[in-house]
Amino acid sequence: MTTAQPAEIWFIRHFRTPWNAEGRLQGRRDIALDDPLSDADQAVLAVNRAALEGVQFRAVLTSPLQRVRQTAALHGFAGASPDADLAELDFGQWEGRLWHELHASHPGAWQSAPHSLPLGEPFAAFRARVAGLHQRLLAQPGPVLLFGHGAWFGCLQSLLAGGDGSDLAGRTCGNGVLTRLARPSGNTNTPDTHL
């Protein structure tokens, strides 16, 4: 008897918003996408849609925030299931402020010690959300598609590499980027490709 292989994870970060262009921390703020999408984002969308064509996903999940739901809809997944565990890190008092202000106020913290920042949710709780969703996905046979956020994905990448999430800043992906994570071998899971 053969057992089903655990899920292969496909992840797409939301397209750009006006706040991305301004260098603002969005977190849980419910910001809409640029309207219209830039030509560059339109080109990325076409490449992503071609890569997704014909793939039978066992589950398609999205963050409940509108920028991510809009991105899912643009990819043909308007009916994706919202999952609160896919929501972005709550930056609390920093939401709406500029990234360079955070870096000036707390030099190096985002790169190596995000748990030391005054966030809107404890970093340990954020990390637990990311890890918890990943554990739920491992029970899914076949590929799953997630639409989400940069810091969330950086944390997942860190955890899959055996880290504790604190190096998430160096592991995020660009807006609109589709990344396929290879099936786990042993206790690790590494990015397969940026499509």
Return the top range by mean pLDDT from 5-9, 121-125, 191-195.
Answer: 121-125
Domain residue ranges in the chain: 9-194
pLDDT score, position 195:
43
Q: What pLDDT score does 2 carry? A: 41
Residue 34 has pLDDT above 70, yes or no: yes
Q: Does 9-194 carry CATH code 3.40.50.1240?
A: yes
Residue 120, both tokens: 């809107």
Cβ-in-10-Å burial (0-12, 13-18, 19+) of 92 comes to: middle
Cβ atoms of 18 and 155 within 8 Å: the answer is no
Stretch 127-133: mean pLDDT: 97
pTM for this model (two decimals): 0.91
Residue 47 in this model has a pLDDT that exceeds 50: yes
Residue 151 has pLDDT above 70, yes or no: yes
Token pair of 2, please? 């053969």
* Contacts of residue 51, Cβ cutoff 8 Å, sequence gap at least 6: 178, 195
Q: How far is CA 137 from CA 60, 161, 171, in A?
A: 11, 17, 20
Percent over 90 (pLDDT), the chain: 86
Q: What is the mean pLDDT of residues 101-119?
A: 96
Joined together, the tokens standing for residue 49 give 């849609």
Q: For residues 181 and 28, what is the distance between their CA atoms, to the nearest angstrom? A: 25
Ramachandran quadrant class, 186 (left: phi over 0; alpha: psi -120 to 50; beta: rest): left
Do the strands 178-181 and 9-13 form a parallel or antiparallel pair, or are they unpaired? Answer: antiparallel
CA distance 62 to 162: 25
pLDDT at 5: 55
pLDDT tens-digit readout, 57-103: 999 999 999 999 999 999 999 999 999 999 999 999 999 999 999 99
What tokens were used for 159? 């955890």
Instruction: Tell me the average pLDDT across 5-10.
Output: 78
Token duo for residue 167: 């190096």
CA distance 189 to 157: 8
Average pLDDT in the chain: 91
Q: Which residue has the tokens 């970060």?
A: 13
Q: Which residues pair with 62 in a beta bridge?
A: 82, 147
Q: Is the pLDDT of residue 125 over 90?
A: yes
Angle among Cα 111, 117, 122 to the nearest 5 degrees reads: 110
Strands 178-181 and 59-62: unpaired
